[in-house]
Amino acid sequence: MARRRKGEAVSGWICLDKPENLGSTQAVSRVRRAFGAQKAGHAGTLDPLADGILPIALGEATKTVPFMMEAEKSYRFTIAWGETTTTLDREGPVTASSAVRPEPAAVAAALTRFVGEIDQIPPDYSAIKVGGQRAYDLAREGVVMDLAPRRVVIHRAVVTAVPDLDHVEVEIHCGKGTYVRSLVRDLAAALGAEAHVARLRRLSVGPFTEARAMGLENLEALCHRGEALEVLLPVETALDDIPALAVTDEDAFRLTQGRSVVLLPRQVETLAARLTASRTVSALSRDRLVALCEMRAGRLNPTRVFHL
């Protein structure tokens, strides 16, 4: 007999405004406990020293996390001129210093070189695996690494504020895998300066924005009062970019049984015009998410089934 999973069968997304000095895994644990949920996960690690948007999936929403890992993101961060650190942020020991303080106009001009597809070397202090170990663990042990560059895309990068001569604030909109700390490292090198990230805030992850965000303490208070379901976003929130198709009750049952369904010619034509290379379709019955499917040869083949 299968062991019953502990917790409540709560499913949906929380757009958490993660506070500073809290790890992403710790944040997920606190949200899961607050809801008493059976399972939880997050869509994209946010460093403890950073704050901002951390989408957290509960229950059946965890099946949609892979789609959010591909989502575009936006950040606002403050660059501190004068010192470079081991971690490329304010946490690590200083490795180099300089009196160079680039003019805001020079910073704005240099940023344009990083807009578009670029090759970026991740920071040594990152979660990338090297020989089966996390790079940040090896870096703490003093291991010298030669991380390979990765192709990333930055859609927009602009100077948004200049608090003083020692700092400049920048906002970027970028694709997956982009490291702000690496961008600051490379930007400083292009300007002949030393710098590190003094503050970092994530403004959005796909459809999860500040307008939808909820602070952790406020969320825990709502859960304590039994009102937290009011801020729980639907499982399909993470599937905004995936074509949806309404199916009959009979077809919904077939899909939940792991069986494919035959589409009408007009359905195939409508979906084909909206499909991406993945050919993924979300099947809904009475506005309820039933399954994620792959459309092939006029059929929907279920790849992930939801129990909502």
216 neighbors 51 (Cβ within 8 angstroms): no
Verify that 267 and 194 share a domain, yes or no: no
- Alpha-carbon distance of 308 to 292, in angstroms, equals 13
33-75 residue pLDDT tens: 999 998 999 988 898 999 999 999 999 999 999 989 889 999 9
pLDDT tens across 8-21, in order? 789 999 999 999 99
Mean pLDDT of all residues belonging to the chain: 91
47 included as an active-site residue:
yes
With respect to residue 135, please indicate whether it lies within any of the assigned structural domains: yes
Distance between CA atoms of residues 143 and 130, nearest Å: 11
Residue type, 243: P
Q: Is 231 within the bounds of a domain? A: yes
Apex CA 126: angle with CA 197 and CA 67, to 5°? 100
The number of C-alpha atoms within 13 Å of 111 and in the hemisphere containing its C-beta is 23
Cβ atoms of residues 292 and 304 within 8 Å: yes
What predicted TM-score, i.e. pTM, was given to this entire model? 0.90
Instruction: Tell me the per-residue pLDDT of 192-250, one tens digit each, with 9 for 90 and over.
Output: 999 999 999 999 999 999 999 999 999 999 998 988 888 899 999 999 888 888 899 99
Residue pLDDT, tens place only, 282-306: 999 988 999 999 988 889 999 999 9
Domain harbouring 279, CATH code: 2.30.130.10
For residue 274, what are the domain limits? 242-305
The catalytic position among 17, 47, 51, 251 is: 47
pLDDT for 5: 58
Does 196 lie in the same domain as 79?
yes
Helix (H) / strand (E) element for 137: namely helix 135-140
- pLDDT, residue 170, reads 98
Residues 107 and 197 in one domain: yes
